Amino acid sequence: MIKRKNNALVPYLLSYPLLIIYLTFLTLFASQANVYAQEGDSGISTDPAIIAQGKTMFEENCRACHAVDRKVVGPALKEVYNRKDLAWITAFVQNSQKVIESGDQYAVDLYNEYNKTVMTPFPFLKDEDVAAIVAYIKDQTENAAVAEVAEGGEGAEVAAADEGSIPSNYLTAILVGLLIVLILILAVLGLIISVLTKYLREKKDLDEIDREVVEQKFGLEKVLKSPGFLGIVVFIFTAIVVKTIIDGLYTVGVQQGYAPTQPIAFSHEIHAGQYEIDCNYCHTGVTKSKNANIPSANICMNCHSAIKTESEEIKKIYAALDYDVATNQYGPNQKPIEWVRVHNLPDLAYFNHSQHVNVGGIECQTCHGPIEEMAVVRQYSNLTMGWCIDCHRKTDVNTVGNEYYDKLVELHDSKDALKVKDIGGLECSKCHY
């Protein structure tokens, strides 16, 4: 279809024979397809009602693993009715393992091609149900070309809409341009002043006051040496130095901003942000233990046994697990992945994740910051004692539905809610022992 559009651009005389050849091919292919369809045909319906029924059943049962136009988990179903007859398809859908075990060469080849992935048996789909699904697939196959053209049109519209906004590059250029214009204006004004002064100096008919104004010299040296100016400079300098020293001292022993390079470029931005995988899915210890846990590679493999298998970073996981993608087998030479720990709380302080996350109901982001936006994880909070204590002073205890706190709440006869500091959140020995 697209080819035809392009042909409209080339001269008429040239395009006409091409068009004819093109159409001939099209007709040939179409007629061939029809011959096949009739050969393997055991009555694939073209009735819109049956196609609609097939669509519903396809979406309910098949869509998870199959698409018409592309390979998903299983093969693309486009023209499946040309590859095998309806009876075979029905048998395979109802119980694929039975067909494979019967020694059917096509089924065995298919099974091996897809890494021995077992297709879910659908014994409840009756013969006419499978026929309806195939009718829907046939309808989709034949209308695919039409759909493609429609999609192409949509794509063009989106591209056009994108051009509406100004890219940030242009904004910077505009700002720089404005700055240059301002500097030019300043230079021109300076020139005008010097020209005017020169002209006035040469004039003889000025009185005393005017002459004084013209001859006035700006005593820059005088100003620089004046005690007031020196005082201000010394004050500002001292203030900056003191501030730098204090800031510098406060960073001793504080690892805020530490963002080590990891052996595998794992991105929380993709996993927790884009795909919304819960933190707890991988950090399994966070509700149960002192440590949140760095996930072991078997958790990576829950997804990456099947997706992004060609990525260089994922291959590092395979190497660590001695895993062979082609055979889905794990070898004996497994070794740990040496992740670099980001948060190193000093040994002198005790911290427990489950106490904060499970009992306290604190969100991960409260301390770890916007992890779901970090491609490389950095230490977000400073993890100083002042930071801990500050939170313990401000935070209400999560007492709802926790009978452990019932008596404490009863005894706590203050107007304010029960804070962490009220239950020993400021005691030294809570964290240092």
Phi-psi sector, 328: left (phi>0), alpha (psi -120 to 50), beta? left
276 touches other proteins by CB under 8 A: yes
Closest CA to 136 of 55, 38, 40: 55
12 touches other proteins by CB under 8 A: no
Q: Taking the complex as a whole, how short is the minimal distance between the CB of residue 292 and other proteins, in angstroms?
A: 9
Q: Taking the complex as a whole, how short is the minimal distance between the CB of residue 431 and other proteins, in angstroms?
A: 14
Among 36-44, 170-178, 246-254, 405-413, the segment contacting other proteins (CB under 8 A): 246-254
- Separation between Cα atoms, residue 296 and residue 281, nearest integer Å: 12
Closest CA to 378 of 252, 251, 258: 258
Candidates 69, 281, 319, 394: give the one binding other proteins (CB under 8 A): 281
Closest CA to 79 of 46, 29, 33: 33
- Separation between Cα atoms, residue 359 and residue 423, nearest integer Å: 14
251 touches other proteins by CB under 8 A: yes
Among 100-108, 208-216, 289-297, 384-392, the segment contacting other proteins (CB under 8 A): 289-297
Q: Taking the complex as a whole, how short is the minimal distance between the CB of residue 389 and other proteins, in angstroms?
A: 18
Number of C-alpha atoms within 13 angstroms, CB side, residue 78?
A: 13
Candidates 306, 375, 385, 417: give the one binding other proteins (CB under 8 A): 306
Q: Which two tokens stand for residue 55?
A: 């669509």
Q: Which two tokens stand for residue 253?
A: 């022993």
Segment holding 329, helix H or strand E: strand 329-330
Q: Taking the complex as a whole, how short is the minimal distance between the CB of residue 278 and other proteins, in angstroms?
A: 4
List binders of other proteins among 334-363 (CB under 8 A): 335-336, 338, 341, 344, 346-348
Are 136 and 55 in contact, with CB atoms under 8 Å apart?
yes
- Separation between Cα atoms, residue 110 and residue 118, nearest integer Å: 11
Candidates 155, 231, 260, 331: give the one binding other proteins (CB under 8 A): 260
Q: Which two tokens stand for residue 225?
A: 């040496």
For other proteins, the closer CB: 15 or 358: 358
Among 155-163, 180-188, 297-305, 411-419, the segment contacting other proteins (CB under 8 A): 297-305
∠ CA(173), CA(176), CA(181), 5° rounding? 125
24 touches other proteins by CB under 8 A: no
Q: What's the gap between Cα 193 and its chain centre?
A: 58
Among 28-36, 39-47, 278-286, 392-400, the segment contacting other proteins (CB under 8 A): 278-286
Binding site for other proteins (CB under 8 A): 60-61, 64-65, 72-73, 117-118, 120, 122, 124, 241, 244-245, 247-249, 251-261, 274-278, 280-281, 284, 291, 293-294, 296, 298-299, 301-303, 305-307, 335-336, 338, 341, 344, 346-348, 379
